Structure 1
Amino acid sequence: MLAVGWGPLFMADLRPIAAPFVVPGPSGVAIRTRLKNLTDQDELVLRTVGAHLGSLAADDLKKRCADGLGHDNDRWARRKRELTGLSSSRWAGSITKASHDQWALARHGLAAHMQGLQAGIDMLAHRLSLPLGQKGTKREPGGYRSRQEWHAKARRLACLTVQHAAAVADYDSGRVRVVRGGRRLLNTRHHLDQAQLTQVQWRLRWQAARWFLSADGESGKRWGNETIRVTDDGQLSIKLPAPLADLANAPYGRYLFTCRVGFAHRGQQWADRVAADRAVAYRVSFDARRQRWYLTACWQYAPAPTIGLAAALALGCVGVDANDDHLAAWRLDVHGNPVGAPRRFFYDLSGTADHRDAQVRHALTRLLQWAKTCAVTAIAVEDLDFAAEKTREKHGRRKRFRRLISRFPTGRLRARLVSMADQTGITIVAVDPAYSSKWGAEHWHKPLNTPTRKITRHDAASIVIARRAQGHKARRRTPPPPTDQSDRVGHRSAQAGPNVAGCEGPRHRIPGPRTRCPSPDCDLNAGDQCVQDRSGHTTGPVQLMHSQ
């Protein structure tokens, strides 16, 4: 185990710890509700409009991908003019913007794929250059075990090199590969037995995923959106495309739905926004599994000003160590000392993505509720990023560990925590995750582990995380000697803040049954070591006598 108290030779191997920082709050919000009591005519209109606009979106995405890096504003305007006659001006704007965002997202994914391929190539080249059977270290793996494995990895290196060259060529030319509806759902078509789906069921999901029923909002327009409009009393209507104007049941080519829309979550914020005619974007989606229609409303707002780190930590801090199955949390006071008992908030990351997301959301809800009862205004979390740790070439046969870090929701957990904490007035502080588990197990696990309170190394790591956010060192302060005349056994075993005045001075005497009542001038000389009854020091009157 690596310790901070070791010599300079080992200290040189430690990487520098980055300074903690306050995570900025969210800049947007999205809420969803279910569209209930839709008639057959309402569903027919939604399916028809979604299929028509979906075909237009597919053609526009094809053109955008063909433009590649040569795309400019003139080509964007030309595509929008072509779509206006087949839909409307606002529908055309939403379709072209969605195509442009999809191309940018695919290009970002291609860059991440290139980075992963390059990481695998570097690791394979390093391990192939080592002798067979050479042992590795905690930082880098060693050589391969056998000649057969070395030969197989050499072939894999050649394959990854070819794939990386092809990816670089696509990136330089601006070529991307996009599947409207999702590549995963497309591949499911070839494995219907494993997915337990029939061809008809898969076809319904495929069609629903390729529909387009999204409209951007416009500030200053009636109810914040002219294309998909929701009034303050819940009346939903859409602007029909020009070829489908015969389906209208309201003036100006609009269709009014019989259902009423209401948002349970942040409903008042949405109502205030539409009443002020501020922009609100809507998206209508269909869940083919449950046969349900949903309406999603989203909008952007200016993020709240980020408070200073010192102000956020003025009332203490809660350190959180994220693990595969639970969140380990411990409250610390302003001096960096643990208060009370640790808390653990469990969740289950198995199952579908919706189930995992719900489990994380419920755990974070319990964490924030507990933090509010502790009267703290800051939660310290690790700034985790497993992007460079997922390559199988680095961890080799450790399939269980690779599966663990691959499914761990680092980005989603942090994004949800920031979004949910913004509504409770709690600030999120991100710290460097380096050595938090090692130093927590070394400095805090044994002293805090008692027969009546069993803690884990994850609980100890949460203390290191919170202390790192507060600016303290990870190690505990060394206890005083047992026979010290000024500090008895057990006193000041945890260090106070580095800037606390008088934290190293002797304690003031507290009146009580044992100490009796001290003299009024007792505290005047409490911090002067020369007035203590020790050898080599003189008291006040004696010093006065010698001076005479």
Structure 2
Amino acid sequence: MGDLREVTAPFVVPGPCGMAVRDRLKHLTPQDEKVLRAVGEHQGALASRDLKVRCADGLEHGADTWASRKRDLTAQSSSRIAGAITKATHDQWALARRCQAAHIRKLEAGIRMLRHRLSLPIGEPGTKRAAGGYRSKNEWFRKSRRLAALEARHAAAVRDRQAGRVRVVRGGKRLLNTRHHLTQARLTKDQWRERWEAERWFIAADGESGKRFGNETIRVTPDGEVSIKLPAPLAHLANTRHGRYTLTSTVAFAHRSVEWADRIETNRAVAYRIHLDTKRGRWYLTVSWQRPVVQTIPLETARARGVIGVDTNADHFAAYHLDPHGNPIGDPRHFPYDLSGTTAHRDAQIRHALTRLINWAKQAGVAAIAIEDLDFTTEKTREKHGRKKRFRQLISGIPTGRLKARLVSMAAEQGLSMVAADPAYTSMWGAQHWQKPLATRKRKMSRHDAAGIAIGRRALGHPIRRRTAPPPHDRSDRAGHRTAQAPPGTRGREGTRPPATDHAPRDVPPNGTRKRQPSASNTVRNAPRTQQWVQDSLTHTG
């Protein structure tokens, strides 16, 4: 037991603090599209130049340099557009720094694993918690070369981080690399160029409380009319007063339209973004706003009505309903999904599975869903599971980040809380203590179902094992020896207590012979006539 890591306490996951909805800009005229393209190209070029300046500043950046960048952009756009561009640039640089730190940690983990395995004798077997040595001298040599390569990459990444140097691609690195593989991507050069330029456009505006309808740059009225404040060099394209261009298209948000209307009618800040989907040739308007940070309910309140324990797998959610005392109720439930195909298909599969899970949780009457606090960062490394490619693909395919973000936001809208539990040993201990006892002829139990029970019990604050020992002086043998649970080899240890003998009733075995003599009767009429019954005195006199 000394080798087991410490299990962290469960906690209630904070709810979402932002909201975003989207609608299509339909029936745009050629002039509308011309203006949108011109604005996107102009402001996209400003954003690219500003990002270049920000990356050149590195760690020397401060409030003065930020103000200087904003002044330079204001002359070519407006103060509000310049503020939106500089803020987006700052967020992009900060994200690149966080990704750089994560890349360094990943390299360090790979280097540690390679050094450990190279230090072991060739052919040394591994254990469940530690990888063994390499199988042959050839593999040992190739891994030693890889160790040198990782160390060189790590040293370069550390130098970049210390110098404040990041590498950012506006438009995305993946799309940039697609330019060299147009045949595999089934794109022509013109199609790729159109997509690349559209991804680098910048038609966005941050909200501002107190201003009309919550935004001065991109304004949407309660009737759905969309107007844009044009930058100074494009002011000649305006079709209304004050250098604004009003689109012929109107929007009507089908989702959360009431909440959005409440915000703009009270002039609270809302942010807008206009972008072009080049695959479909459609323009979209996305509106987003921030919510006040909602205080999460106490953990005791979330546990009051029981929980739904959910085990996340590569192709399904295994869920079990548990009462407040940790007892499983009913049968396990499975919510399958298929993560193959396009990104849109995978997102839809996750969304549909989570919808069914949340609907079942509401029907069960619980207040919270218990889920593992998954990461798998260290479990899918190439250095630890190099030969187990299918296993690494299986772990990488589990939707950890997407799942947590979607489940928290979707559950919050239905009034459900999320309780995150430590995933340590849930599958192993769940299978050990719950899989076999709950399996019947009509109920099939898998390790994933048992893991869902273990996750739910840990979220409720109960131990995973089924029984614990009573207090010492409440045991039948007083303070003597008694284990907390029967050993695994004991037959029927989880069922009802078997009878004292395994033969037929009335102490008559199948062969017709008794195993014990009948007890003597204490009646006088069954005693011999010569026998006299004498009752001894309770007191003894000398």
- Choose the corresponding residue for 1:307, options 287, 291, 297: 297
**1:528 corresponding residue in structure 2:** none
Q: CA deviation at 1:352?
A: 1.9
Q: CA deviation at 1:260?
A: 1.0
**1:431 corresponding residue in structure 2:** 421
Q: How many pairs does the alignment contain?
A: 473
Q: Kindly indicate whether residue 175 of structure 2 is the aligned counterpart of residue 185 of structure 1.
A: yes
Q: Kindly indicate whether residue 391 of structure 2 is the aligned counterpart of residue 395 of structure 1.
A: no
Q: CA deviation at 1:389?
A: 2.2
**1:66 corresponding residue in structure 2:** 56
Q: Return the letter of the residue paired with 1:48.
A: A
**1:76 corresponding residue in structure 2:** 66
**2:510 corresponding residue in structure 1:** none
- Choose the corresponding residue for 2:326, options 336, 343, 346: 336
Q: Kindly indicate whether residue 115 of structure 2 is the aligned counterpart of residue 125 of structure 1.
A: yes
Q: CA deviation at 1:341?
A: 1.2
- Choose the corresponding residue for 2:449, options 450, 454, 459: 459
Q: Kindly indicate whether residue 70 of structure 2 is the aligned counterpart of residue 93 of structure 1.
A: no
CA–CA distance in structure 2, aligned partners of residues 406 and 146 of structure 1: 28
Gaps of 5+ in 2: 471-475, 477-483, 486-542
Q: Kindly indicate whether residue 244 of structure 2 is the aligned counterpart of residue 258 of structure 1.
A: no
Equivalent runs, 1:161-310 vs 2, <5 Å:
161-310=151-300
Q: What per-residue deviation string (whole Å, max 9, x for no partner) do you get for residues 40-74 of structure 1?
A: 11111111100110011000000000000000111
Q: CA deviation at 1:354?
A: 2.0
**1:373 corresponding residue in structure 2:** 363
Instruction: Between 250-259 and 343-352, report the one with greater CA deviation.
Output: 343-352
CA–CA distance in structure 2, aligned partners of residues 421 and 317 of structure 1: 13
CA–CA distance in structure 2, aligned partners of residues 478 and 136 of structure 1: 34
Q: CA deviation at 1:360?
A: 0.8
Q: CA deviation at 1:357?
A: 1.4
**2:514 corresponding residue in structure 1:** none
Identity %: 67
Q: What per-residue deviation string (whole Å, max 9, x for no partner) do you get for residues 79-136 of structure 1?
A: 1111111111111000111111111111111111101111111110111110000000
SS at match of 1:219: coil
Contact preservation (8 Å) 2:312, 2:398: no
Equivalent runs, 1:149-160 vs 2, <5 Å:
149-160=139-150
**1:141 corresponding residue in structure 2:** 131
Q: TM-score, normalised by structure 1?
A: 0.85
Q: What per-residue deviation string (whole Å, max 9, x for no partner) do you get for residues 398-422 of structure 1?
A: 1111112223221110111111111
Q: Kindly indicate whether residue 35 of structure 2 is the aligned counterpart of residue 49 of structure 1.
A: no
Q: Return the letter of the residue paired with 2:48.
A: A
SS at match of 1:394: coil
**1:448 corresponding residue in structure 2:** 438
**1:360 corresponding residue in structure 2:** 350
Q: What per-residue deviation string (whole Å, max 9, x for no partner) do you get for residues 346-390 of structure 1?
A: 111111222211111111111111100111111000001112223
- Choose the corresponding residue for 1:31, options 14, 21, 30: 21
**2:492 corresponding residue in structure 1:** none
**1:418 corresponding residue in structure 2:** 408
Equivalent runs, 1:98-109 vs 2, <5 Å:
98-109=88-99
CA–CA distance in structure 2, aligned partners of residues 371 and 289 of structure 1: 38
Q: Return the letter of the residue paired with 2:261.
A: A
Q: CA deviation at 1:478?
A: 7.6
SS at match of 1:388: coil
Q: CA deviation at 1:334?
A: 1.4
Which structure would you say has the larger Rg?
Answer: 2
Q: Return the letter of the residue paired with 1:387.
A: T
- Choose the corresponding residue for 1:409, options 361, 386, 399: 399
CA–CA distance in structure 1, aligned partners of residues 81 and 380 of structure 2: 40
Q: Return the letter of the residue paired with 1:152.
A: R
CA–CA distance in structure 1, aligned partners of residues 359 and 421 of structure 2: 22
CA–CA distance in structure 2, aligned partners of residues 390 and 343 of structure 1: 28
CA–CA distance in structure 1, aligned partners of residues 380 and 331 of structure 2: 34
CA–CA distance in structure 2, aligned partners of residues 407 and 290 of structure 1: 28
CA–CA distance in structure 2, aligned partners of residues 407 and 321 of structure 1: 15
SS at match of 2:351: helix
Q: Return the letter of the residue paired with 2:19.
A: V
SS at match of 2:267: coil
- Choose the corresponding residue for 2:461, options 471, 476, 485: 471
CA–CA distance in structure 2, aligned partners of residues 478 and 469 of structure 1: 18
CA–CA distance in structure 2, aligned partners of residues 156 and 420 of structure 1: 43
Q: Kindly indicate whether residue 340 of structure 2 is the aligned counterpart of residue 350 of structure 1.
A: yes
Q: CA deviation at 1:479?
A: 12
Q: TM-score, normalised by structure 2?
A: 0.86
SS at match of 1:49: helix
CA–CA distance in structure 2, aligned partners of residues 376 and 476 of structure 1: 22
Q: Return the letter of the residue paired with 1:415.
A: A
